[in-house]
Structure 1
Amino acid sequence: MEKGLNKSNFSTRQMVTTAMLAAISIFLGLSGLGFIKIPPVNATIMHIPVIIGSIIEGPIVGGLIGLCFGLFSMYQAFTAPTPTSFVFWNPIVALLPRILIGVISYYAFVGIKKTVKINAKASGMAVIAFLSIMIALALKIFFPIYVSCIIAAAVFVVLTFLFIKYKLSEKSEVLSIGTASLLGTLTNTVLVLTLIYVFYVDRFAKAINVNPTLAGKAIVTIGMTNGIPEALISTIIVVPVVMAILKIRK
């Protein structure tokens, strides 16, 4: 009896978490708070509830929140269209990447956490190197390449120092949550832009006033200018939020 009751409570918790985080994602879109202006791009944080839900409750919950996010994207594309909204009229483009945010985030979280336990030092240094490279690529958008590389190198040195001094490698949750957040965000960006290229490359090029022969490069540029800042912002927000939730549950 007790086992069945616990299972029921867990299912109820999952449903409540799904509804709550889906509502937050939609609220961010409706209110405009889900968009952060980082000239010359607008970064979105509407995918963050999807990542949080997948990490704390699993891939099914994450996928359902992602589905709600995708359905809202379709609704917004029909009710408040922009020159490029037509791409989200297609359910494959609007829904599939958003559902996979939750799936990829969860399995990245679990996989990195297991890897960190096996070889904490190597895993920690690999994540620090990955973050430094991501920072260099993001800064390259706004600064000359040598400036972005210098800043990224400084970040690498500082993080490595902290890693060694305070033994951050023991905090497997920090590394796994951060990596899951990065990969979840990039899953959305890469898949959406890839599907746009597959289904609508010529029409999309015309909508953004780009020569169709240069559409591929334009899409890659959009991915760089939007995806990388979004991934970094997502990580900054998701890590402390999920850490707090996990700490409360313990």
Structure 2
Amino acid sequence: MLLVLNVGNTAISAGAFAGEELRFVAQTATRKGATAFDLALHIRQALALAGGGEEPFSGAILSCVVPSLRQAAAEAADLLVRPGGRRLVLGPGVKTGLDIRTQNPAATGSDLVALAVGALTLAGGPCAAFSLGTATAAVALGEGGALRGTAVMPGLALSLEALRERAACLPEIALEGRVAPRPRRHARRDGRAAAGGAGDGLPPLPLRAVGSPGAALLPGALPLKRAPVAAGARGHLSEKYSGAAAGRIAPALLSQNMRCIPPFMRERQQEECAVSKTRRKTTTLVQMALLAALIAVLSAVPWLGYINLGFINATTVHIPVIIGGILLGPKAGGVLGGFFGLTSLLKNTFQPNLSSFVFSPFYGVGETHGNLWSLVICLVPRILIGVAAGLCYRAIARGGRRKTAAMAVAAVAGSLCNTLLVMGGIYLFFGPAYAAAQGVDYGALFGWIAALVGTVGVPEALVAAVLSTAVCRPLLALQGRGSPQAGR
């Protein structure tokens, strides 16, 4: 079960939930100077008298407006929660998802936040909610559930106590029975006019503040039999809550407000996650477009992206693909690698060299022409550059450590993946034709390819490691995406 605690200046309200069902509600007096064990004992005993068992709770949610008891109440919640259970204390830094549009959102108390979330969940907006405790707290919610305003006023019991102390002729006032406004002569007899007038004026003001009619909810902590709400105020109560709220203060609503915090947080967090996910997708697409444009520039500028060695092209076009795999993940790296493959196909078709037939099915030398295996050699190794780089970086940099080494290893892995697969594909599918085009005996072709990998492929990998690390480190630091989960 989930324990919810509202520690006020007068009373501590506690509720226990099993799923969405409120099982037990109890109240105990607030004792200043109480220790964590005192609070835990009184709360447990109160819940036991209300029908609760002795088993520990699976989690707890705490709202405390008494600074001197905040730490003790948090420790008491820990004592009541079973080992491994979670405890949430409403306060600064806790993201409830509530859209607070007051002048100073940081100064909004945890009790007001819980009251607003509960009212928004139960009645929607616009609405007003009041907490009738030592102080009367009010929140006004506008369209869309935004918290437009809050107010804290002297509580009814506190006001009546001050009136009794200052007005010697008035008898002691009891907050019970009907409390509608009555003539002054009756007020002298029963002393209820002040309470009735206060209750009569509460709902209209916040509802007018949010600009449209709505519901008014009145949970509270005072031990009253009836809420001090006169007939004029009842017109502002929604039909759904008029019976419970206008006729009787329901301490259970305090627990309901607190219980609404986790589902409300989840709903708002899901909305924020959806917006954040859309932004991440847009950012990823923009970054991929920039890297694709860089690949296009490197491919188009002579001796920049493709360096013609006569017998084969050395390349630097794979470096943006590696950067994309590290920054954006293996999927984005694979897409960029496919774009690199297309530029290689165009390059070997329209600006061929002696070995271009192994990369383009549209080019041939004498009787030797490229075929479908040319497309495989041209595209598949280039796609795997980004995939290999992204996976290597994610595996090595897991946990946020060794990021620089992970970048270098990922760059070398991506580059060598391209070189080994390209040269291996040439040997398997175009061995004799490639040997003839290069003027090399077929029996010596394997050693010739191995020498080519050592003299061209290894320098390509080393250059890729240096440049990719130099580019990725500041970009990851700038974007705050230094974890291996950055490009998921």
Same fold (TM over 0.5): yes
TM-score (norm: length of structure 2): 0.38
User: How many angstroms apart in 2 are the aligned matches of 1:3 and 1:171?
Assistant: 26
Q: Residue 380 of structure 2 corresponds to which residue in structure 1?
A: 96
1:51 positional shift: 0.5
Tell me which structure has the larger Cα radius of gyration: 2
User: How many angstroms apart in 2 are the aligned matches of 1:23 and 1:200?
Assistant: 32
User: How many angstroms apart in 1 are the aligned matches of 2:315 and 2:437?
Assistant: 21
Matched AA of 1:82: N
Aligned partners of 1:43 and 1:229 also within 8 Å: no
- Kindly report which structure 2 residues correspond to 1:82-231, keeping only aligned pairs within 5 A, or say none: 82-89=353-360, 90-114=374-398, 172-231=402-461
1:2 aligns with 2:232: no
CA RMSD across the alignment: 2.1
User: Residues 229 and 72 from structure 1, CA distance in 2 versus in 1: closer, same or farther, beyond 3 angstroms?
Assistant: same
Matched AA of 1:196: I
TM-score (norm: length of structure 1): 0.73
Q: Residue 18 of structure 1 corresponds to which residue in structure 2?
A: 288
Q: Residue 473 of structure 2 corresponds to which residue in structure 1?
A: 243
String of CA shifts for 1:99-130, please: whole Å, max 9, x gaps.
0011110111111223xx6xxxxxxxxxxxxx
Aligned partners of 1:87 and 1:200 also within 8 Å: yes
- Kindly report which structure 2 residues correspond to 1:58-97, keeping only aligned pairs within 5 A, or say none: 58-89=329-360, 90-97=374-381
Structure 1: 4+ residue segments shifted above 3 A: 35-38
Q: Residue 98 of structure 2 corresponds to which residue in structure 1?
A: none
Matched AA of 1:14: T
Q: Say how many residue pairs are matched.
A: 195
User: Residues 45 and 214 from structure 1, CA distance in 2 versus in 1: closer, same or farther, beyond 3 angstroms?
Assistant: same
1:171 positional shift: 6.0
Q: Residue 301 of structure 2 corresponds to which residue in structure 1?
A: 31
Q: Residue 150 of structure 1 corresponds to which residue in structure 2?
A: none
1:12 positional shift: 1.4
1:83 positional shift: 1.2
Aligned residue for 2:406, secondary structure, equals: helix
User: How many angstroms apart in 2 are the aligned matches of 1:77 and 1:230?
Assistant: 19
User: How many angstroms apart in 1 are the aligned matches of 2:308 and 2:348?
Assistant: 20
User: How many angstroms apart in 2 are the aligned matches of 1:174 and 1:187?
Assistant: 20
Aligned partners of 1:108 and 1:183 also within 8 Å: yes
1:35 positional shift: 4.5
Deviates more, 1:63-72 or 1:28-37: 28-37
Q: Which has the higher helix share?
A: 1
String of CA shifts for 1:52-105, please: whole Å, max 9, x gaps.
001111111100000000011111111111110011112100000000011110
Stretches of structure 1 that go unaligned for 5 or more consecutive residues are 118-169
Aligned residue for 1:242, secondary structure, equals: helix
String of CA shifts for 1:137-173, please: whole Å, max 9, x gaps.
xxxxxxxxxxxxxxxxxxxxxxxxxxxxxxxxx9611
User: How many angstroms apart in 2 are the aligned matches of 1:246 and 1:78?
Assistant: 37
User: How many angstroms apart in 1 are the aligned matches of 2:350 and 2:328?
Assistant: 32
Deviates more, 1:84-93 or 1:11-20: 11-20
String of CA shifts for 1:5-56, please: whole Å, max 9, x gaps.
2111111122112221122112112102125699xx9742110000000111
286, 302, 317: which is aligned to 1:46?
A: 317
Q: What is the percent sequence identity of the aligned residues?
A: 35
User: How many angstroms apart in 2 are the aligned matches of 1:98 and 1:108?
Assistant: 16
User: How many angstroms apart in 2 are the aligned matches of 1:228 and 1:193?
Assistant: 13
Aligned partners of 1:52 and 1:242 also within 8 Å: yes
